[in-house]
Amino acid sequence: MSAADDAVVHTQLATWQRRIQQTAAGLTPPQTGSPQSALAPQLHQLVSVYNVASGLIGEMLRSADSPLATTETGRTYLVQLATALGHTNQAAAHLSTAVTGLADTHRLAPRPGTAAPAESSLNVMLGHAAALRSLQRALTAITAPVADAPSSTMPAPTSVVAEQHRRAADSGTRPARRRP
């Protein structure tokens, strides 16, 4: 059954590679000009990234409930999907920052001839660039050969935010929040 499992995993990974590549290719930089003209394309891009994340979740649920999950290949595949999902969610968060920056620019500079706030413009540029990098990381997680993927027996690294919240809950203090 290992050869069949490998074939299934290879086919699914190729599908996810294509979907993530298409989504990354659709992440065009925000348009210059009015914030209104740039907002709609960024919202469409955000929806595309969320659709990929939803698809990854669905695939993980299907795969986790299948006999494939009982094999080493299947477990490695699930780890790859989980890693890609984490990076895809980061991409969505970064795009949300870009959309928020565009909305701020629109809200704070409503009159013709007024300058857009530099912080909002910077949030848009940096958020979009970070989203593209996160999608590239998701693609890397999916394109890594199954044999090279991290073993499912190793514990997943704890994110910095999760670690801060755990420590805060233990100590009774709250972690400091930073603006993205």
Residue-wise pLDDT tens digits, 126-172: 888 999 999 999 999 998 765 544 444 334 444 444 454 455 455 55
pLDDT at res. 104:
79
Q: Are 81 and 63 in contact (CB under 8 A)?
A: yes
**pLDDT the model gives residue 116:** 61
What pLDDT was estimated at residue 172? 52
pLDDT of residue 51: 95
pLDDT at position 61: 93
CA distances from 125 to 88, 140, 155, 159 (A): 18, 23, 35, 25
8 Å CB contact between 117 and 104? yes
- Exposed/middle/buried for residue 11 (C-beta within 10 Å: 0-12, 13-18, 19+): exposed
CB atoms within 10 A of CB 112: 6
Q: Looking at residue 2, what is its pLDDT? A: 74
User: What pLDDT score does 81 carry?
Assistant: 94
What pLDDT is attached to residue 30? 80
Tokens representing 105 are 């620019």
- pLDDT score at 21: 95
The predicted model scores a pTM of 0.72
Residues of the chain with pLDDT under 50: 148-162, 164-165, 168, 173-175
Pick from 6, 20, 83, 27: which is nearest to 55 by CA?
20
The pLDDT value given to residue 153: 39
pLDDT at 160: 45
Q: What are the structure tokens assigned to 60, written together?
A: 């993980």
